[in-house]
Amino acid sequence: MPYLLTDAIRHVAQDAAIVAEVEPILGTREWVMWGPNIRRATPNEADAWHVDLESFLWPTVTVAVGLAGCTAASATWCMAGTQRRREIPPVGTQEQIADFGDGRFYVFDASVWHRGDRETSRDRLILFLHYQRADEPRIPLLVDYYRQWWGREAAPYFTKVEGSGLRRDVARLPWRYRIDRWMRRWTA
C-alpha cells in the first residue's frame, strides 16, 4: 500500500476536530498517526465486505477525510459490532456513515466489517489516517497486502510525542495470526 506523509497530511492529522474525536477513543493525548494514504474511488476489491488487516491485529482508529468528490452516498458502509469475527457475518444491520462530504471526516474502527461502494465512490478522493497510542509498538509495514508479507520496519508515522512516551519498536505479529497463516500454506 503506498503511504504518503507530507507536511499537508501532518497538518490534517493534527486538526483540532479530528484530534478531539480520536483522543477520547484512544484514551490518551499521546498518539501516533501512521500509514496515511490517499485513495480515489474504491480500489482493490474494497467494495466487498472486509476488515483492514492492521486494524484486526492491533488496536487502531481510522479517520477518513473527504478531499474531493465526496458525498454522503460515497461514505463507507459498516456492520457495527462485527469486529474480531473471523468470517463475513450474515448481512444484517448495515449503516452508512452519515454527513460525509468534501472537507468533512468520519472516524471508524476498521476491524469491523466494512466496504465502499464502487458506483457512488467512483469520483471521490479520500485521505485515510490511522491512529494508535504512542506507548504501543509501531505497526509494521505491510509490504504485500495480497500475500500478507510484512516488513521489519514500521509503517510511516508522525507524532508530536517526544521522549519516553513514544515506543519505536515494531510490533510482532500475534501468534494466532502466524499459526493461521502457516496452516493455510499447508492446506491450500
Other C-beta atoms closer than 10 Å to the C-beta of 4 total 12
Does 152 map to a domain? yes
Work out whether the CA dihedral 179, 56, 71, 37 comes out positive or negative: negative
User: What is the predicted pLDDT for the residue at 43?
Assistant: 58
CA distance 144 to 49: 20
The CATH number given to whatever domain includes residue 142 is: 2.60.120.10
The answer to whether 31 and 159 have CB atoms below 8 angstroms apart is yes
Does 45 map to a domain? yes
Tell me the chain's radius of gyration from C-alpha atoms. Answer: 16
Provide the residue range defining the domain that includes 34. Answer: 7-187
pLDDT in tens, 147-157: 788 889 999 99
Q: Assign residue 70 a region: left if phi > 0, alpha if psi is -120 to 50, beta otherwise?
A: beta
Residue 80 backbone phi and psi in degrees, to 5 = -55, 145
Domain count, the chain: 1
Instruction: Return the minimum-mean-pLDDT range out of 2-11, 35-44, 137-146, 154-163.
Output: 35-44
- Give 130's DSSP letter: E
| Mean pLDDT, rounded, of the chain | 86
CA distance 95 to 117: 13
User: What is the predicted pLDDT for the residue at 92?
Assistant: 65
Which among 81, 94, 97 is positioned nearest to 49, based on CA atoms?
94
CA distance 40 to 49: 18
Does 150 map to a domain? yes
